[in-house]
Amino acid sequence: MRALVRWHPALMVTAGLMVVVSLFHAVGIVVDDRMYGQSPAWIKPLKFSLSFIVYTAWLGALVHLLEKTSGSLERKARKFGNWIVIAVWAEMFFLDLQTLRGTTVHFNFRTVLDAVIFESVGAIATTLVVINLLLVAVVLKKRAAAPPVMLALKIGTWLLVASSLVGIYMAFPTEPGGWSNDVVGAHSVGADIDHDVTPVIFWAAEGGDLRVSHFIGLHAFQLLPLIAMFLSRWVDRRMVWVLGTGYTAVFLLSLVQALAGEAPFEPSAPTLLAGGAILAGTLAGIVWARLNPSDAPPVPPAPERATEPESVNL
């Protein structure tokens, strides 16, 4: 445990504390019967705190990759990590504050304070993305991990940026239900704000839900590099391209599905066909990548045959 904390003390301690915060939020769901729309009041803080556990622990691992590099780059990475910790706790503070106040954070313009908090959370989220890009740039510059991991990190970072753009899109007025005196923006498409939701994860049960693609894109930043790390025996650069392409296709499909007003778990026939095509294409790509590895060790040249010296006729 101490070895993990040394990766980046502030990030790793934050990951541990977010476990405690998540337990607090889970208790809140049980003992607090307030509902925002069709969802428990504490479900959004719980989702964020669980996400922050994975997020901060993974960033701590990225900083750890730079331990054996030049001191200046490692110091930069550690500084970026400290900034991220401040931003994470600020966002968590606003989420819990609004829940304790009996209101929501996102799209909330009921009062001046609510509007300021929502705009602040948006600014914090944007800051986190920018710092992520700076940290990833340092890791890529030093080539601090194996080539497949570096490629997976690049793809995951682009998907992180794309999912952040989805988050920005949510903040714009939409119809219906996404534009009133009190609410500007929405994660739902084609349904009122007070729409039915699915159990456990509380995504939309009617109408499109932009949170699905937002979630998929955000966590590509952790999932793809981790696959490349822990399955390094089977995952080379070619395999990363296959998995990254398939993952990107799923992200785009979930985004198109939401914009079409389809509930996540009620896909239309075209969506099902597209999903099946993505699955089949990805599986075929995996087989192809396994049969044609890109990072196979080079074949040593065959030893030259000894030749007898030519006789010279005098």
CB-based contact 224:152 (threshold 8 Å): yes
Instruction: For the chain, 314 residues long, give each residue's pLDDT as a single digit of tens.
Output: 666 677 789 999 999 999 999 999 999 999 999 988 788 999 999 999 999 999 999 999 888 887 766 677 778 888 999 999 999 999 999 999 999 999 989 888 889 999 999 999 999 999 999 999 998 888 888 887 889 999 999 999 999 999 999 999 998 866 544 455 677 778 888 776 656 777 788 888 888 999 999 999 999 999 999 999 888 888 899 999 999 999 999 999 999 999 999 999 999 999 999 999 999 999 999 999 999 887 554 444 445 454 555 444 43
Question: Which residues pair with residue 204 across a beta bridge?
Answer: 197
> Nearest-5° angle of CA 94, CA 95, CA 97?
60
* Beta-sheet strands, E only, within the chain: 35-36, 39-40, 188-189, 208-209
pTM as predicted: 0.85
CB neighbours of 258 closer than 8 A, spacing ≥ 6?
189, 208, 209, 210, 212, 213, 264
Which residues lie closer than 8 Å to 208 by C-beta, 6 or more apart? 188, 189, 190, 191, 257, 258, 259, 260, 261, 262, 263
Tokens 């970026």 sit at which residue? 80
Asked whether 142 and 73 are in contact (CB, 8 A), the reply is yes
C-alpha 314/C-alpha 312 separation (Å) is 6
